[in-house]
Amino acid sequence: MILRLDDVSKSFGALKVTDGVSVEVPRGEALGVIGPNGAGKSTLFNLITGNMLANGGRIEFLGRDVTRVAAMERVRMGVGRSFQIPQPFEGLTVFENLLTAAAFGRGVGEADVVEDCARILEETELLGKANVVAGTLGLLDRKRLELARAMATDPKLLLLDEIAGGLTDGECKALVATIRRIHARGTTIIWIEHVLHALTSVVERLMVLNFGKVIGLGAPDAIMASREVREIYLGLEV
């Protein structure tokens, strides 16, 4: 297992946002996470990355208990993430953004990561935009850069937070193709996404959260056919 969550909980005051979540993610899997707004999906990512600390339970990454390990150390261990709202350094070029993420995320000098950053630019189809200032990019390229910055930290586990939102169908297809390639090369992925057709074209399993609890976990077809999921998530009368 690359990641194991055991009875993980997080509360803000009286509000329990993550409620006893247990899940095991095998190395190489792509796991999708769905659930209504406010279900606790982004909070779960924050607990996995160490941006927030759990109030209860245990998080294991690569067999090590990381429940209380700082976010920076988790990045260096191989936990990479993209944010729902892309947060590049707007005044830096695409390539400078990658170099910064790679050097900082890996704890090495920029000279050591130049080649790898060039490879990531190619993988994320940003090679032609290497010298473009990030603040001038359109939405698809901002999303690509967000993905590339996460890849620059050399993640073993890649967390994607609603990366397909706001794209046209064609743009979404292009981004999905890139994510599939990254997955095919062996990177384990956990992906929160409301654009279901994008998600189910990549992931092997879906996890459904509602009020911080896991209410479904399994093959996408079986999950989407479940009465409870259809009622809660899709709002369908069945």
Ligand X SMILES: Nc1ncnc2c1ncn2[C@@H]1O[C@H](COP(=O)(O)OP(=O)(O)OP(=O)(O)O)[C@@H](O)[C@H]1O
Residues that bind ligand X (CB under 6 A): 12, 17, 35, 37-43
Nearer to ligand X, 37 or 131 (CB): 37
Nearer to ligand X, 45 or 61 (CB): 45
Work out how close the CB of 164 gets to ligand X at its nearest, in angstroms, rounded to a whole number. Answer: 13
Work out how close the CB of 227 gets to ligand X at its nearest, in angstroms, rounded to a whole number. Answer: 21
Cα–Cα distance between 15 and 47 in angstroms, integer? 16
Work out how close the CB of 21 gets to ligand X at its nearest, in angstroms, rounded to a whole number. Answer: 12
Work out how close the CB of 39 gets to ligand X at its nearest, in angstroms, rounded to a whole number. Answer: 4
Residue pair 217/204 in contact (Cβ under 8 Å)? The answer is no
Q: Which amino acid is at 150?
A: A
Cross-strand bridge partners of residue 34: 208
Nearer to ligand X, 134 or 195 (CB): 195
Work out how close the CB of 40 gets to ligand X at its nearest, in angstroms, rounded to a whole number. Answer: 4
Residue pair 200/220 in contact (Cβ under 8 Å)? The answer is yes
Residue 151: strand, helix, or coil = helix
- DSSP secondary-structure letter at 133? B
Nearer to ligand X, 35 or 50 (CB): 35
Work out how close the CB of 53 gets to ligand X at its nearest, in angstroms, rounded to a whole number. Answer: 12
Tokens for 157, please give them: 């586990």
Residue pair 214/21 in contact (Cβ under 8 Å)? The answer is yes
Which among 56, 53, 121 is positioned nearest to 93, based on CA atoms?
Answer: 121
Tokens for 134, please give them: 């990030």
Tokens for 54, please give them: 């759990």
Tokens for 56, please give them: 């209860």
Residue pair 124/144 in contact (Cβ under 8 Å)? The answer is yes
Cα–Cα distance between 176 and 153 in angstroms, integer? 20
Work out how close the CB of 41 gets to ligand X at its nearest, in angstroms, rounded to a whole number. Answer: 3
Cα–Cα distance between 229 and 115 in angstroms, integer? 45
Nearer to ligand X, 48 or 117 (CB): 48
Nearer to ligand X, 17 or 103 (CB): 17
Nearer to ligand X, 96 or 162 (CB): 162
